[in-house]
Structure 1
């Protein structure tokens, strides 16, 4: 908990990002790397949303959830990556107070939504074996995911609004995350830390338990039902999903479930790269490229476009 600041301090209204590194020789390589990552993220997730939308045989609950996940994975890197790319090529990496709060709100909203969407998807994979979900149930589950995201983001943002910033204005991060901002506070941050740990525990632990329970039950059902070849294929698919989930939840937990995080921002930067940039890029590949239905839908669209192009050339 921080002590209250003297009242003769002026309030900070503009902040500067320290970024990922202070070494000038790494700025261009990092800019190119994150630019490439962002392009792949946008193309992959936007392509997945479009493919599911235009392919009628993909209009099932599982792909409805996958489309929602792709939307989230498209949005929350967009909240931080364009600004980060600009900061790589400008001398002064500034952000105003309103922009900072806006970035914080939407980032928290989409990250919390992702935590619960992954849990909903794991639950859907389990119940699909026993009793497939109906679309009205799916719609309510997705609405609840966004409600959880909205509640969490609002709580964090409101708590941040009460914090007074009158010390250094250099944010030791590449975007407006919660702990780097609290590091600059000259007022008490006790309430913020309690809210972070409480919501963080709920938004990480509850979905993790749901996912583990769903996948354990799913694998147990697979071992009872499928042939040896089917078992190995299903377990291979589950393992790739579990790997993606492990990377995401471990990096989020490392950042938000440690009271000492305020003092270890450099490690936090590396951790946040995984859940904010790498995982949104990998999700479309992990959840869809090994999926037979997606491959079939993609082939149909490709063949249809080739057919239309050949007809146009003949005309």
Structure 2
């Protein structure tokens, strides 16, 4: 199933049913009086989370959702039936945005979250409600109100504790694969990761955290180059980011590559840029002892304010230290 993380749909609540003008007519009761019933309220449209869903693909082609209309009232003071509500099911982590104003309506982040997105129209009143001492035979009623309508964007934002960023082929997917049971595609060519991938890292029988790998960024991603920044939204709810850096190029290129990612994060969203971000220098297994010594010394001397790790995701060298540090960090962060 194709991964769809953003769709636009129109939701319309049902119209309220009209009130009824009717007079009681029975044998031997020539002046029975008004007995027109009220209409029924229009149906509402709700959006609720479904833990069994992980994509918005159900709404790629189905774009319009209309709740049931309320029925009109009838004689003998019979009220019309209320219009049927409809429930739109979405994955946990779905954000709802007003398409016209671009304002966020809400985030549905939990298992049983549900929101009334548009309300059904109010019912019309029958003529029995207009009877009074001065108006014995009212020929008045009210019509039902129209239901609300709204054009909305459903935007899926994956729920992960840890997010991974980096250039293509820096080893992001390899790290996720080595740390969790996720099986992201791995290859020696750019953009092997084409969609976000989630993996659960099990620390022990009681502790675990979720890690998210997104397609690699390149210089100019914020202007749409490569795969762009369309998947960066999936890191917005992460508590911490791991910036994976390929250790094989020259020191000058290494620092240049770090700057590329930092620039793209800043241009996308300053809040995301300001998240705690650790630098993970990968592929240390491909360097000789002298290269490791020279590069690590320069990196540690130059970068002072960030937590730094040197690892081999492929050989799983140094990954356990990351597990432990992430576990300790998340314990403090989530409290």
Structure with the bigger percentage of strand: 2
Q: Which has the higher helix share?
A: 1
TM over 0.5, yes or no?
no
TM-score by length of 2: 0.21
Of structures 1 and 2, the one with the larger relative CO (CA 8 A, separation 6+) is: 1
State the structure with more CA Rg. Answer: 2
Relative to the length of structure 1, the TM-score reads 0.22
